[in-house]
Amino acid sequence: MLGVYLVCFLVYLFLPLALMAAAAFNSFPQPALVPWQGFTWHWFGVLAHDERLISGLWHTLIVGVGVTVVAVPMGLAAALILTRLQGRAGGLLYGLLVSPILTPGVILGISTLVFWRQFDVSGGLFVAGAAQTSFIASYCMLIIMARLQRQDRSLEEAALDLGATPWLLFRRVTLPFLAPALLSAGFVAFLQSIENYNTTVFAIGGESTLVTEIGSRLRFGLSPAVNVIGVIFLTVTVLAASLFVLLRSQRR
């Protein structure tokens, strides 16, 4: 029964991805596998000449990197504070810092846009990044907190007893211990930024990211060039995961 469950689980996960990837090589002018009209590389060329999709992809990467650079340090600072606060103050602050995750993305996008307009900053990549950071930083905080709660605090006390300054303690003891959590938080922040739509669509203004551009085209119909983007992302993900496993096995 366990084997049957695993097979069903894997089919449920990967069959839609396989169908999506196969549709990118179908000559049919819509993103579908049926009817199959022959193998083609045509849609890769269409994607290469689609300026709005390429621009949206670059905007997505720019916003994703910016959000990651800001959200991870914010999550780190919040996690360090919360793991050292005791009593009701820690519980209250924890609830406040987690609340952005529970807030609808529509509210976050609109409120961020309204806030920055008070400073004559209109919607765009910066505002979209600020809106995403407001809740992605909370995910980073939770990941880093989970790692911090397993830290042996006696190591920090020993470093202080030996004359280490707070900065040296953080750099030589705490930061190396948190390195895996920081790396995981960075990946989560980047992926959350790439796939986010609800918050971004209200804060992006006249610009567009990949997901908002695809969303705007749904009203008029998509071409299989969108499937090509999926194939590229899927290939990069598989290669990155395989490289990670290979490097990890070699290190062991």
CATH code of the domain containing 128: 1.10.3720.10
* pLDDT given for residue 185 in this prediction: 94
- Residue 75 sits in the same domain as residue 16: no
The tally of domains found in the chain comes to 2
* pLDDT given for residue 173 in this prediction: 86
Give a yes or no: residue 118 inside a domain.
yes
Exposed / middle / buried, residue 165 (Cβ in 10 Å: 0-12, 13-18, 19+)? exposed
* pLDDT given for residue 250 in this prediction: 86
φ and ψ at residue 21, rounded to 5 degrees: -65, -40
Is 76 within 8 Å of 140 (Cβ atoms)?
A: yes
- Residue 183 sits in the same domain as residue 133: yes
Question: CA 91, CA 166: separation in Å to the nearest integer?
Answer: 25
Which residue's structure tokens are 């190591």?
155
- Residue 206 sits in the same domain as residue 108: yes
- Residue 199 sits in the same domain as residue 75: yes
Give a yes or no: residue 50 inside a domain.
no
Instruction: Report residue 139 as tokens.
Output: 């995910």
- Residue 216 sits in the same domain as residue 227: no
* pLDDT given for residue 165 in this prediction: 86
Largest CA distance in the chain: 74
Give a yes or no: residue 249 inside a domain.
yes
Question: CA 13, CA 17: separation in Å to the nearest integer?
Answer: 8
- Residue 130 sits in the same domain as residue 233: no
Give a yes or no: residue 75 inside a domain.
yes
Question: CA 226, CA 237: separation in Å to the nearest integer?
Answer: 17
- Give pLDDT < 70 ranges for the chain: 87
- Residue 73 sits in the same domain as residue 167: yes
3-state class (DSSP) for residue 39: strand
Cis peptide before 16 (omega within 30 of 0): no
Give me the domain span that covers residue 29: 11-42+223-252
- Residue 213 sits in the same domain as residue 195: yes
Among candidate residues 236, 192, 183, the one with its CA nearest the CA of residue 211: 192
Question: CA 112, CA 208: separation in Å to the nearest integer?
Answer: 17
Give a yes or no: residue 231 inside a domain.
yes
Each residue's pLDDT tens digit, 45-64: 888 888 888 898 899 999 99
Angle 131-221-132 (CA atoms, 0-180°, nearest 5)?
Answer: 10
Determine the distance from the C-alpha atom of residue 180 to the mean position of all C-alpha atoms in its chain, rounded to a whole number: 16
- Residue 20 sits in the same domain as residue 100: no
- Residue 236 sits in the same domain as residue 215: no
Give a yes or no: residue 52 inside a domain.
no
Give a yes or no: residue 227 inside a domain.
yes
Q: Which helix (H) or strand (E) holds 131?
A: helix 125-148
Instruction: Report residue 62 as tokens.
Output: 């720019």
Global pTM exceeds 0.75: yes
Is 26 within 8 Å of 36 (Cβ atoms)?
A: yes
- Residue 112 sits in the same domain as residue 195: yes
- Residue 80 sits in the same domain as residue 158: yes
* pLDDT given for residue 157 in this prediction: 80
